[in-house]
Structure 1
Amino acid sequence: MANRSYLYSLTNRPTAYTDRPETISGISEWNYDIPFMYRLLMSGDPQLCASLISDGLDSDEGDEKVRLYAISGRFEPGFARVKRLIDIMRYLAAQAPVPAPAPVAAPVVAAPKATSFVDRLKGWFSPPAAPKAPPAAVAPATGSTQLPGWLDETLAFLEAHRNEHLLLETVELDTMTESEEAPLRACVEKELARCQQAGAALDALPQDIAAAAQVLREAGAKKQAAPLDAFFGLRFDDDCDSTRSRATEYPLGLQWYDVLYFGLLNRAEFEAATRGDAAAA
């Protein structure tokens, strides 16, 4: 099984594994990475919180359990930033790629042609030849064909799964390299900083959409100074999530589904499961 990052919408900021929300829904999961859209969504006041996936590691012995952490954020500020990014990306997708100018060949001057007196008379009294029509203009190709639909689906899905808070779980990724509490917490704190940087990068774009699109395109292709360096490596076209083909190394993250590998329990479900475990003991 692939190790993944998991994103949920829920009603609270968990203070403990048992601090369950009234409602919770899956939003997305991603193999071996944390897409930019996750970080942008989580950029609304991200804070360290308790993991709801597990209250310890499989290797824990007795009652001494490693405390696991996740990231909690406010849904609305992050969603507002996502909507602005989508507006800018739609503008980019509608723009035609700028073609390189074709080299202009030097005109070839033909040598003067010898003509007879009769030919010259025909030239004087014959009507001039009609000029050749210019070649028909070719409509420029647009930047992306599938991306606009994915952006529409993103907005519709997130609208349908709005809640007070978001929860980003990275424990599967973090335990690939760490197994002790302090280093695991440090991994989550570093990710929290990346979420903050994603929000700062979006806020640093110009208000004018054309100017913002230009800065975004350049920041994706060439590393900029902070906070715009958060965009580096992203693609804003149909290959935005093509990590398998190596078209990009950093996924944007436009894949959404509410049935995740870890379907987390809400408060009522958790309490019912706890009562069932106690009765079976």
Structure 2
Amino acid sequence: MANRSYLYSLSNRPTSYADRPETISGVSEWNYDVPFMYRLLMSGDPQLCASLISDGLDDDEADEKVKLYAISSNFEPGFARVKRFIDIVRFLATQAPSPATPSTAPAAAPKALSLIDRIKSRLSSAAASKAPPAVAAPAATTPATGSTQLPGWLDETLAFLEAHRDTHLLLETVELDTMSESEEGPLRACVEQELARCQQAGAALDALPQDIAAAAQLLREAGATKQAAPLDAFFGLRFDDDCDSTRSRATEYPLGLQWSEVLYFGLFNRAEFEAAQRGDAAAA
């Protein structure tokens, strides 16, 4: 089983494993990474909170459980940044490449023909006059963009997030963190580092110029060449159909445009959690 990051929309900031929201929905999950779009969504006042995936590690004693952390943020500020980011990426995806500069070299002077050359030329012209007319080949066209699918993915992203709006978001990285750590202090430090990356993603978006053409140009440059902070948060991103192609190694830093309500960990809301607790108590 792959270790994943998980993203949810929900109605509270959990203060404990049992502090369940009234409403909660899956938003996305990602194998072995936290995509940029998760971080941008989570950039609206991210704070440490309790994990809702687990109240401890598998081998913990019942009275000595490791406290596990997640990140909670306000939905609307992060979503506003995502919408602006999508506008800029869409602008990038619809830009035609610069046309080639026509050659301005002077034409070569015609070469003097010998008698034999003139005879050959007449024979060639006579043969050509008897041949059927040639069909002109269609002019070569250059697509406006190499991103045939990206605009559709951006549309799907906006539609999905609009349909799953809530007051808060929850980012769970416990599966990724436990790949390298098993104690409470280091596990908390992993989550704090991820929280800082969410803040950096928001700061990077805010640092782009208001003019969309200028913002798109700077975003393209920052994706390809590492810039000074906070723009370094964009480094490694691609803005074409390979934006999430981590399996093929076309990119190592996914944009993160895959969305689903159905996640490996489907978390209980308050009513479901309390019903499950009552069922466990009755079974005991």
Does TM-score exceed 0.5, indicating one fold?
yes
User: How far is 1:142 from its partner?
Assistant: 1.8
Question: 1:83 offset after TM fit, Å?
Answer: 0.3
Report what 2:118 is aligned to.
Answer: none
Match of 2:244, SS state, is coil
Q: List aligned pairs for 1:65-144, cutoff 5 A.
A: 65-98=65-98, 101=101, 107-112=107-112, 139-143=141-145, 144=147
Number of the residue aligned with 2:8: 8
Aligned to 1:254: 257
Q: Matched residue of 1:242: which SS?
A: coil
Q: How does 1:146-225 map to 2 (within 5 A)?
A: 146-225=149-228
- Quote the Cα distance in structure 2 between the aligned partners of 1:64 and 1:204: 45
1:45-102 deviation digits (Å, cap 9, x = unpaired): 0000000000000121241000000000000000000000100011111101236657
Question: In the alignment, does 2:219 pair up with 1:235?
Answer: no
- Name the amino acid aligned to 2:17: Y
| SS at 1:217 equivalent | helix
Q: Give me the whole-angstrom Cα distance separating, in 1, the residues matched to 2:171 and 2:97.
A: 36
Q: 1:111 offset after TM fit, Å?
A: 3.5
In structure 2, C-alpha distance between the alignment counterparts of 1:47 and 1:263, rounded to whole Å: 22
Letter in 2 for 1:141: P
Q: What SS does the corresponding residue of 2:6 show, helix, strand or coil?
A: strand
Residue 37 (structure 1) aligns with: 37
**Higher mean C-alpha displacement, 206-215 vs 60-69:** 60-69
Q: Structure 1 regions of 5+ residues with no counterpart?
A: 116-134
Please state how far the C-alpha of 1:36 moved relative to its aligned partner.
Answer: 0.2
Query: CA separation in 2, counterparts of 1:243 and 1:155?
Result: 22
Per-residue deviation at 1:105? 6.0
Give the AA of the match of 2:98: V
Secondary structure at the counterpart of residue 89 of structure 1: helix
TM-score (norm 1): 0.89
Corresponding residue SS for 1:187: helix
Provide the aligned C-alpha RMSD in A: 1.9
Q: 2: CA distance between counterparts of 1:23 and 1:71?
A: 17
- Aligned residue pair count: 262
The one-letter code sitting in structure 1 at the alignment partner of 2:144 is T
Matched residue type, 1:15? T
Deviations 1:85-125 (A, max 9, x none): 1000111111012366577666322334689xxxxxxxxxx
Aligned residue type for 2:30? W
Query: What 5-or-longer segments of structure 2 have no aligned partner?
Result: 116-136
**SS of the counterpart of 1:28?**
strand
Match of 1:90, as an amino acid? R
Determine the C-alpha separation between the residues in 2 that align with 1:213 and 1:158: 23
TM-score calculated relative to the size of structure 2? 0.88
User: In the alignment, does 2:39 pair up with 1:19?
Assistant: no
Distance 2:31 2:274 in 1: 30
Between the aligned partners of 2:208 and 2:139, the Cα distance in structure 1 is: 35
Distance in structure 2 (CA, Å) of the matches to 1:33 and 1:55: 22
- How far the C-alpha of 1:236 sits from its partner, in A, is 0.5
> Which SS does the other structure have where 1:97 is aligned?
coil
Letter in 2 for 1:34: V
Which letter maps to 1:235?
R
